[in-house]
Amino acid sequence: MADSGDRLGENPLRKLRLYLYLVPVLGAGPALWQLYRRSGDRREQRVARQGVTLMFSWLVLYLSLGWGGEHLADVGNFRLLFLNTLLTSGYFLSCFFLMLQVWRKTGNTEPLNPDVMPENIPPSSH
Protein backbone atom coordinates (compact mmCIF):
# COMPACT_ATOMS: atom_id res chain seq x y z
CA MET A 1 0.00 0.00 0.00
CA ALA A 2 2.74 2.48 0.89
CA ASP A 3 4.88 1.29 -2.03
CA SER A 4 2.67 3.07 -4.56
CA GLY A 5 3.41 6.45 -2.95
CA ASP A 6 -0.21 6.94 -1.94
CA ARG A 7 -0.72 7.31 1.80
CA LEU A 8 -4.27 6.01 1.78
CA GLY A 9 -3.74 3.31 -0.80
CA GLU A 10 -6.01 5.07 -3.30
CA ASN A 11 -5.16 4.61 -6.95
CA PRO A 12 -4.39 7.96 -8.66
CA LEU A 13 -6.25 6.76 -11.76
CA ARG A 14 -9.35 6.11 -9.65
CA LYS A 15 -9.10 9.61 -8.19
CA LEU A 16 -8.89 11.02 -11.71
CA ARG A 17 -12.03 9.08 -12.68
CA LEU A 18 -13.89 10.56 -9.70
CA TYR A 19 -12.89 14.06 -10.84
CA LEU A 20 -13.95 13.23 -14.39
CA TYR A 21 -17.45 12.22 -13.25
CA LEU A 22 -17.87 15.67 -11.70
CA VAL A 23 -16.75 17.77 -14.67
CA PRO A 24 -19.71 20.01 -15.55
CA VAL A 25 -21.74 18.76 -18.55
CA LEU A 26 -18.95 16.63 -20.09
CA GLY A 27 -18.55 14.36 -17.07
CA ALA A 28 -22.05 12.94 -17.49
CA GLY A 29 -20.96 10.64 -20.31
CA PRO A 30 -18.27 8.76 -18.34
CA ALA A 31 -20.49 8.80 -15.23
CA LEU A 32 -23.40 7.24 -17.15
CA TRP A 33 -21.04 4.62 -18.56
CA GLN A 34 -19.80 3.84 -15.04
CA LEU A 35 -23.36 3.42 -13.78
CA TYR A 36 -24.33 1.29 -16.78
CA ARG A 37 -21.40 -1.10 -16.28
CA ARG A 38 -22.00 -1.28 -12.51
CA SER A 39 -18.29 -1.60 -11.90
CA GLY A 40 -16.24 0.12 -9.25
CA ASP A 41 -16.80 0.39 -5.55
CA ARG A 42 -19.60 2.12 -3.66
CA ARG A 43 -17.83 5.49 -3.63
CA GLU A 44 -17.35 5.54 -7.40
CA GLN A 45 -21.00 4.65 -7.90
CA ARG A 46 -22.10 7.40 -5.51
CA VAL A 47 -19.94 10.08 -7.14
CA ALA A 48 -21.07 9.04 -10.63
CA ARG A 49 -24.72 9.12 -9.52
CA GLN A 50 -24.26 12.57 -7.97
CA GLY A 51 -22.67 13.89 -11.15
CA VAL A 52 -25.44 12.54 -13.38
CA THR A 53 -28.23 13.71 -11.07
CA LEU A 54 -26.74 17.19 -10.78
CA MET A 55 -26.24 17.50 -14.55
CA PHE A 56 -29.72 16.29 -15.50
CA SER A 57 -31.33 18.53 -12.87
CA TRP A 58 -29.42 21.52 -14.21
CA LEU A 59 -30.27 20.63 -17.82
CA VAL A 60 -34.02 20.35 -17.18
CA LEU A 61 -34.12 23.64 -15.27
CA TYR A 62 -31.86 25.37 -17.81
CA LEU A 63 -34.03 24.34 -20.74
CA SER A 64 -37.25 25.17 -18.89
CA LEU A 65 -36.07 28.65 -17.92
CA GLY A 66 -34.72 29.28 -21.42
CA TRP A 67 -37.99 28.23 -23.00
CA GLY A 68 -39.98 30.31 -20.52
CA GLY A 69 -37.75 33.31 -21.12
CA GLU A 70 -38.45 33.18 -24.84
CA HIS A 71 -42.22 33.27 -24.29
CA LEU A 72 -42.49 36.18 -21.85
CA ALA A 73 -42.44 39.94 -22.22
CA ASP A 74 -39.30 42.03 -21.71
CA VAL A 75 -39.15 42.20 -17.90
CA GLY A 76 -40.16 38.58 -17.37
CA ASN A 77 -37.74 37.49 -20.06
CA PHE A 78 -34.86 39.27 -18.35
CA ARG A 79 -35.73 37.84 -14.95
CA LEU A 80 -35.88 34.25 -16.19
CA LEU A 81 -32.67 34.57 -18.16
CA PHE A 82 -30.96 36.14 -15.14
CA LEU A 83 -32.20 33.26 -13.00
CA ASN A 84 -30.85 30.92 -15.66
CA THR A 85 -27.37 32.43 -15.34
CA LEU A 86 -27.51 32.10 -11.55
CA LEU A 87 -28.57 28.46 -11.91
CA THR A 88 -25.71 27.72 -14.31
CA SER A 89 -23.18 29.41 -12.02
CA GLY A 90 -24.53 27.42 -9.11
CA TYR A 91 -24.21 24.20 -11.09
CA PHE A 92 -20.57 24.87 -11.95
CA LEU A 93 -19.76 25.89 -8.37
CA SER A 94 -21.50 22.77 -7.03
CA CYS A 95 -19.39 20.58 -9.30
CA PHE A 96 -16.25 22.39 -8.13
CA PHE A 97 -17.30 21.96 -4.49
CA LEU A 98 -17.85 18.22 -5.01
CA MET A 99 -14.42 17.98 -6.63
CA LEU A 100 -12.97 19.60 -3.52
CA GLN A 101 -14.76 17.02 -1.39
CA VAL A 102 -13.21 14.22 -3.44
CA TRP A 103 -9.80 15.83 -2.98
CA ARG A 104 -10.25 16.22 0.79
CA LYS A 105 -11.28 12.63 1.37
CA THR A 106 -8.20 11.36 -0.45
CA GLY A 107 -5.71 13.82 1.04
CA ASN A 108 -3.47 13.52 4.05
CA THR A 109 -5.64 12.70 7.05
CA GLU A 110 -2.87 12.18 9.57
CA PRO A 111 -2.86 14.56 12.54
CA LEU A 112 -0.24 17.28 12.40
CA ASN A 113 0.52 17.13 16.12
CA PRO A 114 1.83 13.70 17.23
CA ASP A 115 0.83 14.45 20.84
CA VAL A 116 -2.88 14.12 20.02
CA MET A 117 -2.59 10.75 18.33
CA PRO A 118 -4.85 8.10 19.95
CA GLU A 119 -2.00 6.07 21.46
CA ASN A 120 -0.64 9.19 23.23
CA ILE A 121 -3.95 10.17 24.88
CA PRO A 122 -4.06 9.04 28.53
CA PRO A 123 -7.05 6.91 29.57
CA SER A 124 -9.88 8.69 31.34
CA SER A 125 -10.19 8.36 35.12
CA HIS A 126 -13.89 7.38 35.22
Per-residue pLDDT of 35-74, as tens digits, reads 999 887 888 889 999 999 999 999 999 999 888 877 777 7
Spacing of C-alpha 69 from chain mean position = 29
The structure's pTM equals 0.69
pLDDT at 1: 41
For residue 123, what is the DSSP state? P
Residue 80 near residue 72 (C-beta atoms within 8 A): yes
Q: Is 78 left (phi over 0), alpha (psi -120 to 50) or beta?
A: alpha
For residue 2, what is the DSSP state? G
H helix intervals, 8-120: 12-21, 28-37, 42-70, 74-105
Contacts of 111 (CB under 8 A, 6+ apart): 117
Residue 9 near residue 39 (C-beta atoms within 8 A): no
Per-residue pLDDT of 73-120, as tens digits, reads 777 788 888 999 999 999 999 999 988 888 887 544 333 444 554 555
